[in-house]
Amino acid sequence: MLSRDNINDILKQANVLLEGHFLLTSGKHSEKYLQCANIFRNTKYAEILSKELWERFKDIEVDLIVGPALGAVQMAYEVSRHFGVENFFTERNAEGKMFLGRSFEIKKGSKVLVVEDVITTGGSVREVIQVIKEQGGVVVGVGSIVDRTGEKVDFSVPLKSVITVDVEAFDPLNCPICKNSNRPLVKPGSRIFKK
Ligand SMILES: [Zn+2]
Which domains, ranges and CATH numbers included, belong to the chain? Answer: 1-34+166-195 (no CATH), 51-164 (3.40.50.2020)
Task: State residue 167's pLDDT score.
Answer: 83
Peptide bond into 64 cis (omega under 30): no
pLDDT digit string (tens) for 134-180? Answer: 999 999 999 999 999 888 899 999 999 999 988 889 999 999 999 99
Task: State residue 163's pLDDT score.
Answer: 93
Ligand 1 centroid, distance to 163 Cα (angstroms):
25
pLDDT digit string (tens) for 94-138? Answer: 999 999 998 899 999 999 999 999 998 999 999 999 999 999 999
Stated as kind and residue range, the H or E segment containing 147 is strand 138-147
User: To the nearest whole percent, how much of the chain has pLDDT over 90?
Assistant: 83
Q: Which amino acid, residue 121?
A: T
pLDDT band at 56 (very low <50, low <70, confident <90, very high): very high
User: Which segments within 52-137 are labelled E, that is strand?
Assistant: 64-68, 86-92, 98-99, 111-119
Ligand 1 centroid, distance to 191 Cα (angstroms):
19
Ligand 1 centroid, distance to 8 Cα (angstroms):
23
Ligand 1 centroid, distance to 164 Cα (angstroms):
23
In contact, 45 and 10? CB cutoff 8 Å:
yes
List CB-based neighbours of ion ligand 1 within 5 Å.
29, 175, 177-178
Q: How much of the chain is helix, strand and coil, in % rounded to 5?
A: 30, 30, 40
pLDDT band at 10 (very low <50, low <70, confident <90, very high): very high
pLDDT (average), residues 176-194? 80
Task: State residue 191's pLDDT score.
Answer: 55
Task: State residue 195's pLDDT score.
Answer: 40
Ligand 1 centroid, distance to 174 Cα (angstroms):
8
Taking all residues of the chain, what is their mean pLDDT, rounded to a whole number?
Answer: 92
pLDDT (average), residues 3-21? 93
Ligand 1 centroid, distance to 34 Cα (angstroms):
17
Entry field: residues in the chain? 195
